[in-house]
Amino acid sequence: MSVNKEVKRVTTHSLQEMKNRGEKIAMLTAYDYSMATIVDDAGIDVILVGDSASNVMAGHETTLPITLDQMIYHASSVVRAANRALVVVDLPFGSYQGNSKEALNSAIRIMKEAGAHAIKIEGGAEIAESVSRILTAGIPVMGHLGLTPQSIYKFGTYTVRAKEEAEAQKLKEDALKLQELGCFAIVLEKIPAKLAKEVSDSLQIPTIGIGAGHDCGGQVLVIHDMLGINKGFRPRFLRQYADLYDIMNNAVKGYIKDVKAEDFPNEKEQY
């Protein structure tokens, strides 16, 4: 007799329990129903509907062009597929900077219209008011420090951040501030591994690293990078687990060849 076990949803509380017992958190991006189904079925802990959709889905050079409406569209597609994973959604550029009321409204729209479980927001002390206001509405917030792609034109480069003492000290202070405000986790992107360890050890909440070494409480990668769909993008921090670009490219070539040769469809493939 088979027993149908109910899938247990990962929550922010689950992530804290994982942190407490030393279990690493696995997080990947997804932007559509089909990909999210695969990722969720594989047992991922957290799915990030990242504003990186601006790059990998829409072909933009930066994350800045993607809109709140577009993020809600991607997020709602992912939420419909995720039976287990915690779904975290990026607040896109322009939806929260400098205006805590707009930040709250943006977060509420993502939660109501997409059915998301939490939002992610870039920045430290400068966005404290927005973070506080969102949290007072009962919306879980994940922070993001280090290389913050929405500020790329301020940085002028995608190089490693916080290598200098002043910036490293600010990052440490910002991490503690975000924890104090009530964030349930913080992404640390492209910072020295030693600094990431210091920050992670100083916090009670989990850190999620991307290009921040192995001492973070978990790791996140962009799914298109990890699966080798984006050809030619190979930063040091990326481990590529498949080469789907060539697999998919060869499959399309095979289809074209069979159509041209009148081999597809054959008699078994028609009515």
Please calculate the CA angle 179-124-186 and round it to the nearest 5 degrees: 45
Active-site positions read 189
Q: Indicate the pTM of the whole model.
A: 0.94
Task: Report whether pLDDT(30) > 90.
Answer: yes
Q: How far apart are CA 106 and CA 49, in angstroms?
A: 15
User: pLDDT of 170-222, one tens digit each?
Assistant: 999 999 999 999 999 999 999 999 999 999 999 999 999 999 999 999 999 99
Q: Is the dihedral of CA 116, 117, 119, 120 positive or negative?
A: negative
Tokens of 200: 């992670």
User: pLDDT of 57-102, one tens digit each?
Assistant: 999 999 999 999 999 999 999 999 999 999 999 999 999 988 999 9
Least Cα distance to 48 among 61, 58, 39 occurs for 39
Q: How far apart are CA 222 and CA 242, in angstroms?
A: 13
Q: How far apart are CA 152 and CA 148, in angstroms?
A: 7
Cis check for the bond before 265: say yes or no (omega within 30 of 0). Answer: yes
Average pLDDT over residues 110-120: 98
Alpha-helix runs per DSSP H in 66-213:
68-79, 100-109, 128-136, 152-155, 165-181, 193-202
- Mean pLDDT lowest among 1-5, 68-72, 105-109, 184-188: 1-5
Q: Is the dihedral of CA 229, 232, 234, 235 positive or negative?
A: negative
User: pLDDT of 119-175, one tens digit each?
Assistant: 999 999 999 999 999 999 999 999 999 999 888 767 667 789 999 999 999 999 999
Confidence of residue 3 (pLDDT cuts 50, 70, 90): very low
